Amino acid sequence: MGEHDWIANIQVGDVLRERSGAFRIVRKVTRSPRNPQRISVTFVIRHCSWTHRCYTVLCTSDLKTRGFRPTGVHITKLKGPLDAKIQENIDDHNCRSLNCCAVAGIS
């Protein structure tokens, strides 16, 4: 088994730890239909960016390069009012009901 085999099993609600020590909750996982090893993972954004979106998307190579590791923790309830608004923005790229400033400090 390879060092990064865990990436293929990422699920929504998994908590990953970045090399910097930051904990990040996986909000969405997208797998390539042609190559299941190609994955993109959506997190709440940590800092405002030029897009002003409340989320960011990282691909498999980003996870490896930035030193993400699984923590073994899985959040089963992401059902709060803010979670619902975050998910709405993630699911509908035209939705801008939240911006990056609204989610500052949230995993």
pLDDT per residue as tens digits for the range 52-105: 999 999 999 999 999 999 999 999 888 888 899 999 999 998 888 898 888 877
pLDDT of 94 = 86
pLDDT of 29 = 96
Number of structural domains the chain divides into: 1
pLDDT digits (tens, 9 = 90+) for 31-48: 988 887 789 999 999 988
pLDDT of 106 = 80
Note down the domain range covering 99: 5-103
Q: What is the mean pLDDT of residues 7-25?
A: 94
For residue 1, pLDDT over 60 is answered with no
Q: What is the mean pLDDT of residues 3-22?
A: 92
Residue matched to tokens 């035209």: 94
Q: Which residue has better confidence, 3 or 25?
A: 25
Q: Which residues contact 59 (CB under 8 A, 6 or more apart)?
A: 38, 39, 40, 41
